[in-house]
Amino acid sequence: MIKPVGSDVLKPLFVYDADRHHALMHEAESLPQVLLSSQAAANAVMMGGGYFSPLPGFMNLADALSVAETMRMTNGQFFPVPVLCLLEDVSAIEGAKRIALRDPNVEGHPVLAIMDVEMIEEVSDAQMATMTEKVYRTLDAEHPGVATFNGQGRFAVSGPIEVLSFSYFQADFPDTFRTAVEIRNEIAERGWKRVVAFQTRNPMHLAHEELCHMAMDRLDCDGLVIHMLLGKLKPGDIPAPVRDAAIRKMVELYFAPNSAMVTGYGFDMLYAGPREAVLHAYFRQNMGATHFIIGRDHAGVGDYYGAFDAQTIFDEEVPAGVLDIEIFKADHTAYSKKLNRVVMMCEAPDHTKEDFVLLSGTKVREMLGSGIAPPPEFSRPEVAQILMDYYKSSQ
């Protein structure tokens, strides 16, 4: 199986030993407490599950700035985005050596992790701007990722952590949420050697489904891991439980047995385009995938990124040799009326736009909201029904 990034073994930060877990939960009651931002909590969940291995905890400011500039920490370790614990107020933890990190996304704010505090640093506006510009390629406050990143506070608290909870993800998505450790184990149990991963924050229409089949065939893969984001999205996106149901129905009906796993991970979308694509590849290698599909405007939002920036970054900016996972570069896929099948648009040079079945996201949402199923060349009818039921119930 493919090795994790930068290590021979995966290094999850979740405390699996029951006695140690119990002792830390007891200790947390007497420690200074801080309430994390949702983004910092998601970072802790990802470290807990081994996705961000071999990171030992939250980065200090020097490492975060170095990662933003070069995708390497000050010790040379590769990581594509800063992983920070940013707080607005640190008065409750001044001088503390160990602190309890509380979960903002669960009622009662239970303890999510314990940190050994190494540094508490104030981040200047110039430093925030540098990280924002490098990671998001814009300073526009209308960009949802920029707004979230800059709205967390200006104090960076860094140090190794021990994770005690997977937040709401395990409870709310027991059939779907999986750690990198669990996915690696299941890949091994299934006997898969070549595994392609597909990232999604949306329901999968026919073009997505066929793109996965296409990648599996061309890469000669044993299996596909459909890996959906279960954390916070932007307003208007389809909720995770609805996406989950739609994707499971598609796999049940249109994929061969033991050819596809439906899983999810606990993280808040960054909408950081190319940099987030690299992060996605990073943690897919950690979960055991040998290949990863990246299409047009991967992890993008609005018009902030070029259509293929998330692909070219791997050739132009990612340091050589840091990732073993291979990128399957995909163009936009759509149903060809001429060929009566889904194709990559770049592979149909004799086609015009009118030769494809193309529907905008806005048009699809309007149809579903009106109880009208998109054409079968766009969406499987069983998937469309689940989405129509959702829109009907939410009106």
- What the chain holds in terms of domains, given with CATH numbers, is 18-170 (3.10.400.10), 177-394 (3.40.50.620)
Identify which of 46-50, 203-207, 265-269 has the greatest average pLDDT: 46-50
What is the C-alpha separation between 179 and 306, in angstroms, rounded?
32
Mean pLDDT computed over 135-164? 97
Contact present, 63 and 78 (Cβ < 8 Å): no
Question: Is residue 296 predicted with pLDDT exceeding 80?
Answer: yes
Amino acid code (one letter) for 210: E
- The strand pairing partners of 393, in sequence order, are none
> Would you call 64 helix, strand, or coil by DSSP?
helix
Question: Is residue 218 predicted with pLDDT exceeding 80?
Answer: yes
Please state, rounded to an integer, the average pLDDT across all residues of the chain. Answer: 95
In order, the DSSP letters of 98-113 are EEEEEPTTSTT--EEE
pLDDT of residue 219: 98
What is the C-alpha separation between 64 and 163, in angstroms, rounded?
21
Beta carbons within 8 Å of 195's beta carbon, 6+ residues apart? 187, 221, 222, 223, 224, 225, 288, 289, 290, 291
Residue 395: how many CB atoms within 10 A of its CB? 8
- Considering just the CA atoms, what is the radius of gyration of the chain in Å? 21
Q: Of 24-33, 53-62, 228-237, give the lowest mean pLDDT range.
A: 228-237
pLDDT of residue 163: 98
Whether residue 202 lies in the annotated active site: yes
Identify which of 117, 121, 102 has the alpha carbon closest to the alpha carbon of residue 40. 102
Whether residue 190 lies in the annotated active site: no
Q: How large a percentage of the chain has pLDDT more than 90? A: 89
Task: Give 11-54 pLDDT, tens digit per residue.
Answer: 999 999 999 999 999 999 999 999 999 999 999 999 999 999 99
Place of tokens 């490492």: 63
Question: Is residue 361 predicted with pLDDT exceeding 80?
Answer: no
Identify which of 82, 161, 64 has the alpha carbon closest to the alpha carbon of residue 117. 161
Q: Of 116-125, 141-150, 195-204, 354-363, give the lowest mean pLDDT range.
A: 354-363
Considering the candidates 72, 98, 202, 365, report the single residue annotated as catalytic: 202
pLDDT of residue 221: 97
Considering the candidates 72, 194, 201, 365, report the single residue annotated as catalytic: 201
Report which of residues 369 and 17 the model is more confident about: 17
What is the C-alpha separation between 291 and 299, in angstroms, rounded?
17
What is the C-alpha separation between 274 and 294, in angstroms, rounded?
10
Question: Is residue 395 predicted with pLDDT exceeding 80?
Answer: no
Confidence category of residue 365, pLDDT binned at 50, 70, 90: confident
Q: Please state at what angle helix 274-286 crosses helix 125-136, rounded to 10 degrees.
A: 80
